[in-house]
Structure 1
Amino acid sequence: MKTQFKTIVVSDIHLGTKGSKAKEVVRFLKKYRCENLILNGDIIDGWQLKKSGSWKRKHTRFFNRILKMIDNDHTKVYYLRGNHDDFLDQILPLQIGNLSIQKDLIYHSNGKKYMVLHGDVFDSITTNLRWIAYMGDIGYTFLLWLNRLVNYHRRKRGLSYFSLSQYVKGKVKSAVSYIDKYEQELAMMAKAKGCDGIICGHIHKAEARIIDGIEYYNSGDWVETMSALAEDYEGNWQLIYYNEIDFGKVTTDDKIIPMPQSDESYSAVSFTKPNDDLELPPFRF
Protein backbone atom coordinates (compact mmCIF):
# COMPACT_ATOMS: atom_id res chain seq x y z
CA MET A 1 0.00 0.00 0.00
CA LYS A 2 1.34 3.40 -0.93
CA THR A 3 1.71 6.25 1.54
CA GLN A 4 0.68 9.74 0.49
CA PHE A 5 2.94 12.51 1.72
CA LYS A 6 2.39 16.21 1.41
CA THR A 7 5.96 16.96 0.32
CA ILE A 8 9.05 14.91 -0.51
CA VAL A 9 12.53 16.40 -0.91
CA VAL A 10 15.40 14.64 -2.68
CA SER A 11 18.76 16.09 -3.66
CA ASP A 12 22.21 15.22 -4.95
CA ILE A 13 21.28 12.40 -7.31
CA HIS A 14 24.17 13.29 -9.66
CA LEU A 15 22.68 11.76 -12.79
CA GLY A 16 25.38 11.23 -15.39
CA THR A 17 27.88 9.73 -12.97
CA LYS A 18 28.73 6.11 -12.19
CA GLY A 19 27.95 6.62 -8.52
CA SER A 20 24.39 7.81 -9.08
CA LYS A 21 21.77 5.44 -7.64
CA ALA A 22 19.24 6.26 -10.35
CA LYS A 23 17.45 2.89 -10.19
CA GLU A 24 17.05 3.16 -6.44
CA VAL A 25 15.62 6.68 -6.47
CA VAL A 26 13.11 5.70 -9.17
CA ARG A 27 12.05 2.70 -7.09
CA PHE A 28 11.69 4.98 -4.08
CA LEU A 29 9.50 7.44 -5.99
CA LYS A 30 7.29 4.58 -7.19
CA LYS A 31 6.58 3.56 -3.59
CA TYR A 32 5.42 6.96 -2.32
CA ARG A 33 3.10 9.60 -3.68
CA CYS A 34 3.21 13.27 -2.82
CA GLU A 35 1.53 16.57 -3.63
CA ASN A 36 4.87 18.36 -3.93
CA LEU A 37 8.26 17.03 -4.99
CA ILE A 38 11.29 19.24 -4.44
CA LEU A 39 14.41 18.27 -6.39
CA ASN A 40 16.89 20.24 -4.32
CA GLY A 41 19.92 20.58 -6.55
CA ASP A 42 22.67 18.46 -8.12
CA ILE A 43 20.08 16.26 -9.80
CA ILE A 44 22.11 16.28 -13.03
CA ASP A 45 25.89 16.38 -12.64
CA GLY A 46 26.93 18.75 -15.39
CA TRP A 47 30.50 18.87 -14.09
CA GLN A 48 31.04 15.14 -14.62
CA LEU A 49 29.18 15.08 -17.92
CA LYS A 50 31.67 17.62 -19.25
CA LYS A 51 34.51 15.28 -18.30
CA SER A 52 34.20 11.53 -17.86
CA GLY A 53 30.50 11.15 -17.08
CA SER A 54 27.98 9.47 -19.36
CA TRP A 55 24.20 9.53 -19.67
CA LYS A 56 22.53 6.13 -19.24
CA ARG A 57 19.03 4.86 -19.90
CA LYS A 58 18.45 4.57 -16.14
CA HIS A 59 19.12 8.30 -15.84
CA THR A 60 16.42 9.03 -18.40
CA ARG A 61 14.03 6.77 -16.50
CA PHE A 62 14.30 9.11 -13.52
CA PHE A 63 12.77 11.94 -15.55
CA ASN A 64 10.20 9.56 -17.02
CA ARG A 65 9.14 8.83 -13.45
CA ILE A 66 8.89 12.55 -12.68
CA LEU A 67 6.65 13.07 -15.72
CA LYS A 68 4.40 10.21 -14.61
CA MET A 69 4.08 11.77 -11.16
CA ILE A 70 3.04 15.04 -12.79
CA ASP A 71 0.59 13.42 -15.21
CA ASN A 72 -0.89 10.64 -13.06
CA ASP A 73 -0.68 12.05 -9.54
CA HIS A 74 -0.79 15.78 -10.38
CA THR A 75 2.38 16.26 -8.34
CA LYS A 76 3.87 19.74 -8.36
CA VAL A 77 7.62 19.45 -9.04
CA TYR A 78 10.16 22.11 -8.10
CA TYR A 79 13.67 21.65 -9.49
CA LEU A 80 16.10 23.89 -7.60
CA ARG A 81 19.49 24.61 -9.10
CA GLY A 82 22.61 23.18 -7.43
CA ASN A 83 26.27 23.84 -8.10
CA HIS A 84 26.70 20.71 -10.27
CA ASP A 85 23.67 21.64 -12.38
CA ASP A 86 24.53 25.33 -12.56
CA PHE A 87 23.90 25.18 -16.32
CA LEU A 88 20.28 25.86 -15.30
CA ASP A 89 21.27 29.48 -14.65
CA GLN A 90 20.74 30.09 -18.36
CA ILE A 91 16.99 29.41 -18.15
CA LEU A 92 16.03 30.45 -14.60
CA PRO A 93 13.28 30.92 -13.65
CA LEU A 94 11.12 28.64 -15.80
CA GLN A 95 7.65 27.24 -15.23
CA ILE A 96 5.91 24.72 -17.48
CA GLY A 97 2.64 23.42 -16.06
CA ASN A 98 3.36 21.65 -12.78
CA LEU A 99 7.13 21.82 -13.30
CA SER A 100 9.06 24.83 -11.99
CA ILE A 101 12.81 25.31 -12.31
CA GLN A 102 14.32 27.98 -10.10
CA LYS A 103 17.18 28.81 -7.77
CA ASP A 104 15.47 28.53 -4.39
CA LEU A 105 12.13 29.07 -2.67
CA ILE A 106 10.28 29.73 0.56
CA TYR A 107 7.96 26.94 1.65
CA HIS A 108 5.00 27.73 3.94
CA SER A 109 3.36 24.81 5.73
CA ASN A 110 1.24 24.45 8.85
CA GLY A 111 2.06 27.93 10.07
CA LYS A 112 5.82 27.56 9.56
CA LYS A 113 8.16 29.03 6.98
CA TYR A 114 11.12 27.13 5.56
CA MET A 115 13.97 28.36 3.39
CA VAL A 116 14.66 25.73 0.73
CA LEU A 117 17.83 25.81 -1.36
CA HIS A 118 20.64 23.50 -2.38
CA GLY A 119 23.14 25.13 -0.03
CA ASP A 120 26.18 25.80 -2.21
CA VAL A 121 25.53 29.55 -1.97
CA PHE A 122 26.85 29.32 1.60
CA ASP A 123 29.94 27.39 0.52
CA SER A 124 32.68 29.95 -0.10
CA ILE A 125 34.88 27.35 -1.78
CA THR A 126 32.20 26.47 -4.33
CA THR A 127 31.12 30.04 -5.02
CA ASN A 128 34.44 31.89 -4.94
CA LEU A 129 37.15 29.34 -5.75
CA ARG A 130 35.63 27.16 -8.46
CA TRP A 131 38.93 25.45 -9.36
CA ILE A 132 39.34 24.17 -5.80
CA ALA A 133 35.78 22.86 -5.91
CA TYR A 134 36.60 20.97 -9.10
CA MET A 135 39.64 19.44 -7.44
CA GLY A 136 37.49 18.37 -4.51
CA ASP A 137 35.05 16.84 -6.96
CA ILE A 138 37.88 14.77 -8.49
CA GLY A 139 38.90 13.55 -5.04
CA TYR A 140 35.32 12.61 -4.16
CA THR A 141 34.92 10.77 -7.47
CA PHE A 142 38.05 8.76 -6.66
CA LEU A 143 36.66 7.90 -3.22
CA LEU A 144 33.44 6.66 -4.84
CA TRP A 145 35.45 4.49 -7.25
CA LEU A 146 37.43 3.07 -4.35
CA ASN A 147 34.22 2.62 -2.39
CA ARG A 148 32.74 0.41 -5.16
CA LEU A 149 35.86 -1.75 -5.07
CA VAL A 150 35.73 -2.08 -1.28
CA ASN A 151 32.04 -3.00 -1.26
CA TYR A 152 32.47 -5.50 -4.09
CA HIS A 153 34.80 -7.50 -1.87
CA ARG A 154 32.58 -6.96 1.17
CA ARG A 155 29.58 -8.41 -0.69
CA LYS A 156 31.62 -11.47 -1.67
CA ARG A 157 32.33 -11.99 2.03
CA GLY A 158 28.69 -11.50 2.98
CA LEU A 159 29.30 -8.18 4.70
CA SER A 160 26.98 -5.16 4.70
CA TYR A 161 27.48 -1.95 2.71
CA PHE A 162 30.22 0.38 3.95
CA SER A 163 30.45 4.07 3.02
CA LEU A 164 34.12 4.92 2.64
CA SER A 165 33.59 8.62 1.97
CA GLN A 166 31.28 8.99 4.97
CA TYR A 167 33.92 7.25 7.07
CA VAL A 168 36.59 9.65 5.82
CA LYS A 169 34.35 12.65 6.50
CA GLY A 170 33.79 11.44 10.04
CA LYS A 171 37.49 10.91 10.71
CA VAL A 172 39.03 14.02 9.15
CA LYS A 173 38.74 16.85 11.66
CA SER A 174 38.64 19.55 8.99
CA ALA A 175 35.71 17.83 7.29
CA VAL A 176 33.80 17.52 10.58
CA SER A 177 34.51 21.20 11.32
CA TYR A 178 33.40 22.24 7.82
CA ILE A 179 30.09 20.36 8.07
CA ASP A 180 29.35 21.81 11.50
CA LYS A 181 30.11 25.35 10.30
CA TYR A 182 28.02 24.82 7.17
CA GLU A 183 25.00 23.76 9.21
CA GLN A 184 25.44 26.63 11.66
CA GLU A 185 25.66 29.23 8.88
CA LEU A 186 22.53 27.92 7.18
CA ALA A 187 20.60 28.02 10.45
CA MET A 188 21.78 31.59 11.09
CA MET A 189 20.66 32.69 7.63
CA ALA A 190 17.23 31.10 8.05
CA LYS A 191 16.83 32.85 11.40
CA ALA A 192 17.87 36.20 9.93
CA LYS A 193 15.22 35.80 7.23
CA GLY A 194 12.51 35.08 9.79
CA CYS A 195 12.18 31.40 8.84
CA ASP A 196 11.42 28.55 11.19
CA GLY A 197 13.65 26.13 9.35
CA ILE A 198 16.10 25.43 6.55
CA ILE A 199 15.96 22.56 4.02
CA CYS A 200 19.11 21.88 2.03
CA GLY A 201 21.43 19.28 0.50
CA HIS A 202 24.91 19.75 -1.00
CA ILE A 203 27.13 18.12 1.66
CA HIS A 204 25.72 14.57 1.25
CA LYS A 205 24.98 14.25 4.96
CA ALA A 206 21.37 13.52 5.91
CA GLU A 207 20.37 15.35 9.06
CA ALA A 208 17.33 16.48 11.03
CA ARG A 209 18.00 18.52 14.15
CA ILE A 210 17.43 21.82 15.91
CA ILE A 211 20.17 24.45 15.70
CA ASP A 212 19.65 27.52 17.90
CA GLY A 213 15.89 27.14 17.65
CA ILE A 214 15.91 26.61 13.87
CA GLU A 215 14.81 23.33 12.28
CA TYR A 216 17.72 22.13 10.14
CA TYR A 217 16.99 19.45 7.52
CA ASN A 218 19.38 17.97 4.99
CA SER A 219 17.93 15.40 2.58
CA GLY A 220 21.26 13.61 2.11
CA ASP A 221 22.07 12.17 -1.32
CA TRP A 222 21.48 9.35 -3.81
CA VAL A 223 25.11 8.44 -4.32
CA GLU A 224 25.74 6.73 -0.99
CA THR A 225 23.26 7.62 1.75
CA MET A 226 20.16 7.14 -0.45
CA SER A 227 17.87 9.24 1.71
CA ALA A 228 15.02 11.71 1.36
CA LEU A 229 12.94 14.07 3.46
CA ALA A 230 9.18 13.64 3.71
CA GLU A 231 6.49 15.80 5.31
CA ASP A 232 3.10 14.50 6.35
CA TYR A 233 -0.10 16.56 6.42
CA GLU A 234 0.42 17.55 10.04
CA GLY A 235 3.71 19.25 9.25
CA ASN A 236 5.97 16.52 10.65
CA TRP A 237 9.23 15.90 8.78
CA GLN A 238 11.13 12.63 8.69
CA LEU A 239 14.19 11.22 6.99
CA ILE A 240 13.54 8.10 4.91
CA TYR A 241 16.45 5.81 4.11
CA TYR A 242 16.17 3.56 1.07
CA ASN A 243 17.92 0.64 2.79
CA GLU A 244 15.31 0.68 5.58
CA ILE A 245 12.27 0.52 3.27
CA ASP A 246 10.36 -2.75 2.97
CA PHE A 247 9.62 -3.02 -0.74
CA GLY A 248 8.19 -6.52 -0.45
CA LYS A 249 4.73 -5.36 0.56
CA VAL A 250 4.03 -2.90 -2.22
CA THR A 251 3.64 -2.81 -5.97
CA THR A 252 3.31 0.24 -8.18
CA ASP A 253 -0.40 -0.46 -8.65
CA ASP A 254 -1.30 -0.64 -4.97
CA LYS A 255 -3.92 1.65 -3.53
CA ILE A 256 -2.96 4.75 -1.60
CA ILE A 257 -3.25 5.15 2.17
CA PRO A 258 -3.60 8.93 2.50
CA MET A 259 -2.17 10.84 5.44
CA PRO A 260 -4.71 12.79 7.53
CA GLN A 261 -5.60 15.98 5.69
CA SER A 262 -5.22 19.28 7.48
CA ASP A 263 -7.85 22.01 7.38
CA GLU A 264 -5.32 24.46 6.01
CA SER A 265 -6.35 26.02 2.71
CA TYR A 266 -3.79 26.10 -0.05
CA SER A 267 -2.95 29.09 -2.16
CA ALA A 268 -1.26 29.26 -5.53
CA VAL A 269 2.50 29.29 -5.92
CA SER A 270 4.04 32.44 -7.32
CA PHE A 271 7.55 32.69 -8.63
CA THR A 272 9.87 35.61 -9.19
CA LYS A 273 13.57 35.49 -9.80
CA PRO A 274 15.35 35.88 -6.44
CA ASN A 275 17.74 38.77 -6.04
CA ASP A 276 21.17 38.73 -4.50
CA ASP A 277 20.01 39.23 -0.89
CA LEU A 278 18.05 35.98 -0.98
CA GLU A 279 14.55 37.45 -1.07
CA LEU A 280 13.12 34.09 -2.07
CA PRO A 281 9.82 33.58 -3.91
CA PRO A 282 6.88 32.38 -1.82
CA PHE A 283 5.74 28.77 -1.92
CA ARG A 284 2.59 28.27 0.13
CA PHE A 285 0.50 25.23 1.01
Structure 2
Amino acid sequence: MAPKKSKYQTIWLSDIHLGCKDCKAQYLLDLLNKVEAKTIYLVGDIIDIWALERRFSWPKLHNQVVDTLIDKAKQGTRVIYIPGNHDEKVRKYIGMTFADIEIHQDYVHTTLQDKKLLVIHGDVFDGKVCLGKWQSRLGDVLYDFLLFLNRVCYATRKRFGWGYWSLAGYIKSRVKGANEAIKRYQDAAIEYAKARGTDGIVCGHIHQPDMIYRDDILYCNDGDWLENCTMLAENLDGSIELIYWTETVQSLTQFSDFAPVTPANQAA
Protein backbone atom coordinates (compact mmCIF):
# COMPACT_ATOMS: atom_id res chain seq x y z
CA MET A 1 0.00 0.00 0.00
CA ALA A 2 1.11 3.55 -0.75
CA PRO A 3 1.97 5.53 2.40
CA LYS A 4 -0.81 7.78 3.67
CA LYS A 5 -0.30 11.40 2.65
CA SER A 6 -0.53 14.36 5.00
CA LYS A 7 -3.52 16.50 4.09
CA TYR A 8 -3.75 20.27 4.30
CA GLN A 9 -6.24 22.87 3.24
CA THR A 10 -3.50 25.12 1.86
CA ILE A 11 0.28 25.22 1.62
CA TRP A 12 2.58 28.13 0.79
CA LEU A 13 6.03 27.67 -0.75
CA SER A 14 8.44 30.38 -1.79
CA ASP A 15 12.06 31.04 -2.70
CA ILE A 16 12.63 27.58 -4.17
CA HIS A 17 15.20 28.99 -6.62
CA LEU A 18 15.06 26.20 -9.19
CA GLY A 19 18.08 26.62 -11.44
CA CYS A 20 20.33 27.60 -8.53
CA LYS A 21 22.93 25.11 -7.31
CA ASP A 22 21.93 25.75 -3.69
CA CYS A 23 18.30 24.68 -4.21
CA LYS A 24 17.36 21.77 -1.91
CA ALA A 25 15.08 20.20 -4.52
CA GLN A 26 15.37 16.70 -3.05
CA TYR A 27 13.65 17.75 0.18
CA LEU A 28 10.96 19.75 -1.64
CA LEU A 29 10.21 16.84 -3.97
CA ASP A 30 9.86 14.57 -0.95
CA LEU A 31 7.38 17.03 0.54
CA LEU A 32 5.34 17.33 -2.66
CA ASN A 33 5.11 13.54 -2.92
CA LYS A 34 3.95 13.16 0.68
CA VAL A 35 1.37 15.95 1.06
CA GLU A 36 -1.98 16.82 -0.45
CA ALA A 37 -3.54 20.27 -0.40
CA LYS A 38 -6.58 21.87 -1.97
CA THR A 39 -4.54 24.97 -2.81
CA ILE A 40 -0.81 25.51 -3.29
CA TYR A 41 0.58 29.04 -3.39
CA LEU A 42 3.97 29.54 -5.05
CA VAL A 43 5.02 32.80 -3.43
CA GLY A 44 7.79 33.98 -5.75
CA ASP A 45 11.38 33.15 -6.69
CA ILE A 46 10.27 29.71 -7.76
CA ILE A 47 12.58 29.68 -10.78
CA ASP A 48 15.82 31.61 -10.31
CA ILE A 49 16.05 33.30 -13.69
CA TRP A 50 18.91 35.48 -12.43
CA ALA A 51 21.01 32.40 -11.65
CA LEU A 52 20.11 30.74 -14.95
CA GLU A 53 21.20 33.83 -16.87
CA ARG A 54 24.59 33.76 -15.15
CA ARG A 55 25.13 30.03 -15.53
CA PHE A 56 22.59 27.52 -16.83
CA SER A 57 22.07 24.62 -14.44
CA TRP A 58 18.94 22.51 -14.46
CA PRO A 59 19.35 19.14 -12.69
CA LYS A 60 16.84 16.34 -13.14
CA LEU A 61 15.42 16.93 -9.67
CA HIS A 62 14.50 20.51 -10.60
CA ASN A 63 12.56 19.22 -13.59
CA GLN A 64 10.79 16.70 -11.35
CA VAL A 65 9.66 19.49 -9.01
CA VAL A 66 8.11 21.40 -11.93
CA ASP A 67 6.48 18.24 -13.33
CA THR A 68 5.03 17.37 -9.92
CA LEU A 69 3.50 20.83 -9.48
CA ILE A 70 1.99 20.70 -12.97
CA ASP A 71 0.62 17.20 -12.31
CA LYS A 72 -1.00 18.39 -9.08
CA ALA A 73 -2.60 21.31 -10.92
CA LYS A 74 -3.95 19.03 -13.64
CA GLN A 75 -5.33 16.63 -11.02
CA GLY A 76 -7.42 19.33 -9.35
CA THR A 77 -5.16 21.13 -6.87
CA ARG A 78 -5.48 24.86 -7.31
CA VAL A 79 -1.97 26.20 -7.90
CA ILE A 80 -1.44 29.97 -7.72
CA TYR A 81 1.91 31.43 -8.77
CA ILE A 82 2.89 34.88 -7.52
CA PRO A 83 6.21 35.86 -9.16
CA GLY A 84 9.05 37.39 -7.15
CA ASN A 85 12.10 39.40 -8.10
CA HIS A 86 14.26 36.47 -9.27
CA ASP A 87 11.44 35.35 -11.58
CA GLU A 88 10.09 38.83 -12.29
CA LYS A 89 9.98 38.08 -16.03
CA VAL A 90 6.94 35.93 -15.28
CA ARG A 91 5.09 39.06 -14.14
CA LYS A 92 4.29 39.99 -17.73
CA TYR A 93 1.95 36.96 -17.72
CA ILE A 94 -0.05 38.07 -14.67
CA GLY A 95 -3.73 37.28 -15.17
CA MET A 96 -2.98 34.27 -17.38
CA THR A 97 -3.02 30.54 -16.72
CA PHE A 98 -0.37 28.10 -17.97
CA ALA A 99 -0.54 24.32 -17.47
CA ASP A 100 -3.49 24.96 -15.11
CA ILE A 101 -1.32 27.20 -12.92
CA GLU A 102 -2.76 30.67 -12.28
CA ILE A 103 -0.42 33.68 -12.26
CA HIS A 104 -1.30 36.61 -9.99
CA GLN A 105 0.43 39.79 -8.77
CA ASP A 106 -0.76 39.01 -5.24
CA TYR A 107 -3.77 37.25 -3.75
CA VAL A 108 -6.07 37.49 -0.73
CA HIS A 109 -6.59 34.05 0.78
CA THR A 110 -9.52 33.39 3.13
CA THR A 111 -8.80 30.71 5.72
CA LEU A 112 -11.27 28.20 7.13
CA GLN A 113 -11.46 30.45 10.19
CA ASP A 114 -12.55 33.30 7.89
CA LYS A 115 -9.30 35.22 8.26
CA LYS A 116 -7.99 37.09 5.23
CA LEU A 117 -4.29 36.71 4.43
CA LEU A 118 -2.58 38.82 1.79
CA VAL A 119 -0.17 36.64 -0.19
CA ILE A 120 2.72 38.56 -1.78
CA HIS A 121 6.37 37.79 -2.49
CA GLY A 122 7.73 40.74 -0.51
CA ASP A 123 10.31 42.46 -2.71
CA VAL A 124 7.98 45.47 -2.70
CA PHE A 125 9.32 46.17 0.82
CA ASP A 126 12.97 46.43 -0.22
CA GLY A 127 12.96 50.22 -0.17
CA LYS A 128 12.09 50.20 3.54
CA VAL A 129 14.61 47.50 4.42
CA CYS A 130 17.76 48.42 2.46
CA LEU A 131 19.51 51.58 3.66
CA GLY A 132 21.15 52.25 0.30
CA LYS A 133 22.53 50.70 -2.87
CA TRP A 134 25.96 49.91 -1.49
CA GLN A 135 24.50 48.25 1.62
CA SER A 136 22.21 46.21 -0.61
CA ARG A 137 25.11 45.14 -2.83
CA LEU A 138 27.26 44.28 0.18
CA GLY A 139 24.39 42.22 1.56
CA ASP A 140 24.13 40.27 -1.70
CA VAL A 141 27.86 39.50 -1.69
CA LEU A 142 27.83 38.41 1.95
CA TYR A 143 24.77 36.22 1.38
CA ASP A 144 26.43 34.51 -1.59
CA PHE A 145 29.39 33.78 0.71
CA LEU A 146 27.03 32.39 3.35
CA LEU A 147 25.47 30.07 0.78
CA PHE A 148 28.95 28.90 -0.21
CA LEU A 149 29.71 28.06 3.43
CA ASN A 150 26.33 26.39 3.73
CA ARG A 151 27.05 24.28 0.64
CA VAL A 152 30.39 23.11 2.06
CA CYS A 153 28.78 22.31 5.41
CA TYR A 154 25.96 20.37 3.72
CA ALA A 155 28.37 18.32 1.60
CA THR A 156 30.51 17.51 4.66
CA ARG A 157 27.56 16.43 6.79
CA LYS A 158 26.17 14.35 3.93
CA ARG A 159 29.53 12.55 3.58
CA PHE A 160 29.31 11.50 7.24
CA GLY A 161 25.65 10.50 6.95
CA TRP A 162 24.41 13.38 9.08
CA GLY A 163 21.14 15.19 8.46
CA TYR A 164 20.81 18.65 6.97
CA TRP A 165 21.60 21.70 9.12
CA SER A 166 21.67 25.31 7.94
CA LEU A 167 25.00 26.93 8.75
CA ALA A 168 23.84 30.04 6.88
CA GLY A 169 20.78 30.35 9.10
CA TYR A 170 22.89 29.87 12.22
CA ILE A 171 25.30 32.64 11.21
CA LYS A 172 22.53 35.04 10.17
CA SER A 173 20.77 34.62 13.52
CA ARG A 174 23.89 35.96 15.25
CA VAL A 175 24.46 39.02 13.05
CA LYS A 176 22.91 42.14 14.57
CA GLY A 177 22.55 43.94 11.23
CA ALA A 178 20.72 41.00 9.69
CA ASN A 179 18.26 40.84 12.60
CA GLU A 180 17.62 44.59 12.33
CA ALA A 181 16.89 44.25 8.59
CA ILE A 182 14.48 41.38 9.27
CA LYS A 183 12.66 43.53 11.86
CA ARG A 184 12.32 46.39 9.34
CA TYR A 185 10.96 43.94 6.78
CA GLN A 186 8.40 42.57 9.23
CA ASP A 187 7.28 46.09 10.18
CA ALA A 188 6.86 47.04 6.51
CA ALA A 189 4.88 43.88 5.77
CA ILE A 190 2.58 44.39 8.74
CA GLU A 191 1.91 48.02 7.78
CA TYR A 192 1.18 46.91 4.21
CA ALA A 193 -1.32 44.30 5.41
CA LYS A 194 -3.04 46.94 7.55
CA ALA A 195 -3.30 49.26 4.54
CA ARG A 196 -4.85 46.45 2.49
CA GLY A 197 -7.35 45.68 5.24
CA THR A 198 -6.37 42.05 5.78
CA ASP A 199 -5.93 40.06 8.98
CA GLY A 200 -2.45 38.93 8.06
CA ILE A 201 0.18 38.58 5.39
CA VAL A 202 2.10 35.65 3.88
CA CYS A 203 5.38 36.46 2.16
CA GLY A 204 8.86 35.14 1.48
CA HIS A 205 11.80 36.97 -0.12
CA ILE A 206 14.13 37.35 2.90
CA HIS A 207 14.68 33.60 3.48
CA GLN A 208 13.72 33.87 7.14
CA PRO A 209 10.78 31.64 8.15
CA ASP A 210 8.70 33.08 10.98
CA MET A 211 5.21 33.69 12.33
CA ILE A 212 4.45 36.55 14.70
CA TYR A 213 1.27 38.32 15.76
CA ARG A 214 1.77 42.05 16.12
CA ASP A 215 -0.60 45.03 15.98
CA ASP A 216 -3.55 42.70 15.26
CA ILE A 217 -1.79 41.35 12.15
CA LEU A 218 -0.43 37.82 11.67
CA TYR A 219 2.90 38.02 9.85
CA CYS A 220 3.88 34.75 8.14
CA ASN A 221 7.08 34.16 6.23
CA ASP A 222 7.16 30.71 4.66
CA GLY A 223 10.97 30.67 4.40
CA ASP A 224 12.91 29.20 1.50
CA TRP A 225 14.48 26.09 -0.05
CA LEU A 226 18.07 27.31 -0.25
CA GLU A 227 18.85 27.14 3.45
CA ASN A 228 15.78 26.69 5.67
CA CYS A 229 13.57 24.11 3.86
CA THR A 230 10.25 25.30 5.29
CA MET A 231 6.65 25.59 4.19
CA LEU A 232 3.61 27.32 5.64
CA ALA A 233 0.45 25.25 5.91
CA GLU A 234 -3.20 25.79 6.72
CA ASN A 235 -4.43 22.70 8.51
CA LEU A 236 -7.90 21.23 8.04
CA ASP A 237 -9.08 23.05 11.19
CA GLY A 238 -7.92 26.40 9.80
CA SER A 239 -4.89 26.75 12.05
CA ILE A 240 -1.68 28.02 10.43
CA GLU A 241 1.56 26.11 10.90
CA LEU A 242 5.19 26.63 9.91
CA ILE A 243 6.83 23.30 9.07
CA TYR A 244 10.48 22.33 8.60
CA TRP A 245 11.03 19.50 6.10
CA THR A 246 14.34 17.68 5.50
CA GLU A 247 15.31 14.21 6.76
CA THR A 248 13.07 15.12 9.68
CA VAL A 249 9.73 16.92 9.68
CA GLN A 250 9.14 19.36 12.51
CA SER A 251 6.45 21.87 13.40
CA LEU A 252 8.17 25.16 14.21
CA THR A 253 5.22 27.38 15.11
CA GLN A 254 1.44 27.06 15.01
CA PHE A 255 -1.33 29.64 15.34
CA SER A 256 -4.98 28.81 15.93
CA ASP A 257 -7.43 31.69 15.49
CA PHE A 258 -4.29 33.88 15.37
CA ALA A 259 -3.17 32.83 18.85
CA PRO A 260 -0.04 30.73 19.39
CA VAL A 261 -0.79 27.08 20.06
CA THR A 262 0.70 26.19 23.45
CA PRO A 263 0.07 23.18 25.69
CA ALA A 264 -2.38 25.37 27.65
CA ASN A 265 -4.25 26.29 24.47
CA GLN A 266 -4.35 22.68 23.33
CA ALA A 267 -5.61 21.50 26.72
CA ALA A 268 -8.47 24.02 26.53
**What residue is the counterpart of 1:144 in the other structure?**
147
Give, in whole Å, the separation in 1 of the partners of 2:87 and 2:132.
17
Deviation at 1:187, TM superposition (A): 0.9
Give, in whole Å, the separation in 1 of the partners of 2:133 and 2:52.
17
Check the 8 A contact 1:106/1:116 in 2, yes or no.
Answer: yes
Give, in whole Å, the separation in 1 of the partners of 2:202 and 2:215.
15
Give, in whole Å, the separation in 1 of the partners of 2:213 and 2:128.
25
Per the alignment, do residues 47 and 88 of structure 1 end up closer, same or farther by CA in structure 2, a change over 3 Å counting?
same
**What residue is the counterpart of 1:35 in the other structure?**
38
Give, in whole Å, the separation in 2 of the partners of 1:119 and 1:108.
19
Deviation at 1:43, TM superposition (A): 0.4
Give, in whole Å, the separation in 1 of the partners of 2:34 and 2:205.
25
Check the 8 A contact 2:222/2:242 in 1, yes or no.
Answer: yes
Q: Which amino acid aligns with 2:187?
A: Q
Q: Secondary structure at the match of 1:171?
A: coil
Deviation at 1:228, TM superposition (A): 0.3
Per the alignment, do residues 149 and 220 of structure 1 end up closer, same or farther by CA in structure 2, a change over 3 Å counting?
same
**What residue is the counterpart of 1:170 in the other structure?**
173
Give, in whole Å, the separation in 1 of the partners of 2:98 and 2:131.
32
2:97 aligned with 1:82 = no
Fraction of identical pairs, as percent: 38
**What residue is the counterpart of 1:121 in the other structure?**
124
2:245 aligned with 1:245 = no
RMSD of aligned Cα (Å): 2.4
Check the 8 A contact 2:80/2:104 in 1, yes or no.
Answer: yes
Check the 8 A contact 1:206/1:217 in 2, yes or no.
Answer: yes
Give, in whole Å, the separation in 2 of the partners of 1:131 and 1:59.
33
**What residue is the counterpart of 2:52 in the other structure?**
49
Check the 8 A contact 2:128/2:184 in 1, yes or no.
Answer: no
Q: Which amino acid aligns with 1:121?
A: V
Check the 8 A contact 2:10/2:233 in 1, yes or no.
Answer: yes
Check the 8 A contact 1:19/1:223 in 2, yes or no.
Answer: yes
Runs of 4+ in 1 over 6 A off after TM superposition: 125-132
Q: Could you report, residue by residue, the CA deviation over 1:254-277 in whole angstroms, capped at 9, with x for unpaired residues? A: xxxxxxxxxxxxxxxxxxxxxxxx
Give, in whole Å, the separation in 1 of the partners of 2:159 and 2:99.
48
Check the 8 A contact 1:125/1:132 in 2, yes or no.
Answer: no
Check the 8 A contact 1:120/1:127 in 2, yes or no.
Answer: no
Give, in whole Å, the separation in 1 of the partners of 2:158 and 2:101.
40
Given the two structures, how large is their TM-score scaled by the length of structure 2?
0.83
Deviation at 1:124, TM superposition (A): 1.4
Q: Which amino acid aligns with 2:82?
A: L
Per the alignment, do residues 54 and 179 of structure 1 end up closer, same or farther by CA in structure 2, a change over 3 Å counting?
same
**What residue is the counterpart of 1:194 in the other structure?**
197
Give, in whole Å, the separation in 2 of the partners of 1:161 and 1:233.
29
Q: Could you report, residue by residue, the CA deviation over 1:30-84 in whole angstroms, capped at 9, with x for unpaired residues? A: 1010110000000001111111341222111111101221223x00000101011
2:2 aligned with 1:24 = no
Unaligned runs of 5+ in 2: 251-268
Give, in whole Å, the separation in 1 of the partners of 2:174 and 2:153.
18
Give, in whole Å, the separation in 2 of the partners of 1:204 and 1:245.
18
Give, in whole Å, the separation in 2 of the partners of 1:172 and 1:183.
17
Check the 8 A contact 2:74/2:100 in 1, yes or no.
Answer: no
Q: Secondary structure at the match of 1:123?
A: helix
Deviation at 1:193, TM superposition (A): 1.8
Higher relative contact order (CA closer than 8 Å, sequence separation 6+): 1
